[in-house]
Structure 1
Amino acid sequence: MFLFYAASILELLTLLLLSTSCSVPVASGGAELVIRRGGTYSGRYESTSSDRPCILIATTEPVVLDGCELRGPGRLIDATAGGARLTVRNCRGFGRLPTADNRARGRFLEINHGVSLRAEHNYLEHTAGLLVFRWQGSGAPDESITIRYNQARNIDGRFRNGGGAKVSFVQLNEVHGLENVAIGWNEVVNLPDESMVEDNINLHNSSGTARRPLLVHDNYIQGAYPVPATAAIFTGSGITTDGDASSALTTTAYVQAHHNTVVSTCNAAMNIAAGHHNYFHHNCLITSSLLPDSTRLRATYAATAIFNAYDKPETVFFANRMEANTIGFVSWGRNSPLSDRHDLSTDACATCTGTVHLPNPITRQQESAAHAAWLARLHRRAQHVGPANSTSTGRPALR
């Protein structure tokens, strides 16, 4: 179904003057809106098929999506054709139940071989997040990746018939040596048994440069759980460097993750599991390992670790470090550095220095206080997350 706002004659003339054009295909496998020329677009678009995106970018001219509302079981914004120069701002995206078995809900945005991406002040709910696969842009400020001030609720890889896919709020995959990448000031909240996220931010075989590292900073990330949340096994996290690349040029490298707040994550809060010259510092990692009804989470392991997950040689995995992070991570039955704690993974954090270990007990109230502190920092910047016309106070009710 294709829904759009009524436009006045003046608005239509303005669109023509901007050389903005679109087509609405009727054939199966198209999209609710196909954008074939550059310009600024808005409106409401809803798909009823997992195979049909709401918006398909079919041009390499600059496109701005501003104030769109998107709903569907598949990709909401599809920019996989290559060469996209895309800005997405003040948009709302709502994932729907998949229309086929063994399929996850679609991503809010997927871009392949892009030239420019700026995603700011958007709201996404029950989607599979944002995926960036490979890159054509030069890494100049106008040919890089900026993902800021977005608000996400319940990243969701669940299948309708049980099980699910490993999805993230943001994943970069095979984005090599790109300068001026910034993933910052996003607010991500996943609720237990209403979401299914793996690593909230996953950097897979992706890198910045020594001169301009890939920055992941000042994000608030809450929640990473198995389904059901009380299950004993989970492999996700808040933020992780990842990837099985076999060379120093293609592995995850030159990532700086700093001043992020990560709370209530099973398995881990932040891990360096691949690559070289990755530096995580001045982050706040708090997990009480309790559900709202005080039920214990069983899949928590350690807040942070530096480990060679893919058993790569020293020419690929080296020069990684953690420094000056504040941690209080409950892992029942362990004792590092205090009872029922595992702040630094035993034997996997030799270059983790300057850690501030919070005293016991670690509580859900501390998790809430960490969110309040993050919101205060955001407000001091005179900024907000989500669309510009949002009435949110920082944690909107789920729809």
Structure 2
Amino acid sequence: MLPTALPRTLLLLGLLLAGATCALRSESEAVLVVRHGGTYTGRYHSTSSRQACIRIATTEPVVLENCELRGPGLLIDAREGGAHLTIRNCRGIGELPTTDNQASGRFLELNEGVRLLAEDNYLEHTSGLLVYRWQGDGSATQTITIRGNRARNIDGRYRNGGGAKVSFLQLNEVHGVERIDIGWNEVINEPDQSMVEDNINLHNSSGTASSPLLVHDNFIQGAYPVPATSPKFTGSGITTDGDASSGLTTTAYVDAYRNTVVSTCNAAMNIAAGHHNYFHNNHLVTSGLLPDGRRLTATYAGTAIFNAYEKPASVFYANRMHRNTIGFVSWGRQHPSANRHDLSTDACSPCTDTRHLPGPITLQTEQQARLRWQAQRQTWRTSRLE
């Protein structure tokens, strides 16, 4: 595709050409290889799980804006290192994988990046976003911002059955980066139309004491096994994760607040690794029911703080949960009342000032939580335009 700095007639010609599937030199070549900085727009369609729609092959600043990306494989490939990338108002649609034992590709996979701003994008039936390691210095122009995106049906299913553990967003081995901001994203997963593990998974990733990694004001609905009524599931809405053996490389300094998490099996939010992680003022609601009234059997507890990897006190410590509002149905359990398990009874002693929603917790309660968040999001969007 052509940078917008070129004459308008050439840009329009590039847009017309981008609407078709391009002939590729090799099975692994991307539809578009970006070798120079600039702003790129257009429609890009791959037909193979082995072919990305766009590959970033430059360390110059690149803006992908108003793009439509479709395909069974990786939509945006930024794995070569040093990417300085903005993705804005793009639409990414995953298609049925063309290879067995492989999920639909991610909307974005970025390794060793310098800048990532992903805002106001829409993604559907993809494996979400993965950010692996980081080269940026954490300044305002060299950090990670993932803001105002909408996702439908994060999908790790294979075409031949089974699937992979995928997330709307995973940060993996992103250590000590300041000014990370993950906010105002909307993620909705439908039962038996999606396959997600933790919707937001922070794996061996951290902010700093003076600039925590912010996860705020997101709406997450749905985290289910396949089929949705199965009794076992290990995912969640938001989780700190990671098996690092050092306090410097574990998940740390995460500040997660004002998130709304609805209808998740296993858990809504967990601190399962790291230190100095603080979850507060979140709204967590699960009715234990599918839209057609069938019971979910894989719900466990709304939230917990537990040392999942059995790390020493130098790695897992100083984690807190405070003033979260919770109504989490877990059939047969009783905390704080029948068929509820708002706080994991064996793993939430540091959870303080919890506001337990009055029962019964119903599908309508979940809908009310979504309407409440939508009103807040509209206020935020209006403030951006002022």
Tell whether the structures are fold-level matches, with TM greater than 0.5.
Answer: yes
Task: Say if 2:10 is the partner of 1:12.
Answer: yes
Helix, strand or coil for the counterpart of 2:130? Answer: strand
SS of match in other structure, 1:103? coil
In 2: Cα distance, 1:260 partner to 1:184 partner: 9
Q: Identify unmatched segments of 5+ residues in structure 1.
A: 17-22, 389-399
Tell me the CA shift for residue 379 of structure 1: 1.1
TM-score, L = length of structure 2 = 0.94
**1:334 corresponds to:** 333
Secondary structure of residue in 2 paired with 1:143: coil
Distance 2:193 2:103 in 1: 14
Secondary structure (helix, strand or coil) at the match of 2:327 reads strand
The Cα of 1:341 is off from its aligned counterpart by 0.2
The TM-score, its normalising length taken from structure 1, stands at: 0.91
1:380 deviation in Å?
Answer: 1.2
> How many Å separate the matches in 1 of 2:315 and 2:37?
41
- Counterpart in 1 of 2:304? 305
The separation in 1 between residues aligned to 2:180 and 2:10, in whole angstroms, is 36
Q: How does 1:266-345 map to 2 (within 5 A)?
A: 266-345=265-344
Deviation at 1:27, TM superposition (A): 2.0
Cα-Cα RMSD:
2.0
SS of alignment partner, residue 42 of structure 1: strand
Are the aligned partners of 1:378 and 1:384 in contact in 2 as well (CA < 8 Å)? no
**How many correspondences in the alignment?**
376
Amino acid at match of 1:78: D
Partners of 2:332 and 2:94 lie apart in 1 by: 38
Q: CA deviation at 1:13?
A: 7.1
Asked if the contact 1:139–1:180 (Cα under 8 Å) also holds between the matched residues in 2, the reply is yes
Distance in 2, Cα, partners of 1:328 & 1:362? 6
Aligned to 1:203: 202
Deviation per CA, 1:98-132: give whole Å up to 9, x if none. Answer: 11100010000010000000000000000000000
Offset of residue 382 of structure 1: 3.1
Match of 1:88 in 2: 87
CA distance in 1, matches of 2:105, 2:193: 16
CA distance in 2, matches of 1:356, 1:9: 59
Give, in whole Å, the separation in 1 of the partners of 2:204 and 2:7: 49
Greater relative contact order structure (CA < 8 Å, 6+ sep): 1
5 Å-filtered alignment, 1:138-149, equals: 138-149=137-148
CA contact (8 A) 1:207 1:254 kept: yes
Counterparts in 2 of 1:13 and 1:354: CA distance versus 1, 3 Å: closer
Shift of 1:173: 0.1
4+ runs of 1 displaced by more than 6 Å? 13-16
In the alignment, which residue of structure 1 is the partner of 2:185? 186
Corresponding letter in the other structure for 1:369 = Q
Q: What does the per-residue CA deviation read over 1:37-62, in whole Å, with 9 as the maximum and x for residues that have no partner?
A: 00000000000010100000000000
Matches for 1:82-231 after TM superposition, within 5 Å: 82-231=81-230
Residue deviations 1:358-380, cap 9 Å, x none? 11100000101111010101111
Q: Which amino acid aligns with 1:167?
A: V
Partner residue, 1:396: none
Question: Which ranges of structure 2 fall in alignment gaps of 5 or more residues?
Answer: 15-21
CA offsets 1:198-245 (integer angstroms, 9 cap, x no match):
000000000000000000000000000000000000000000000000
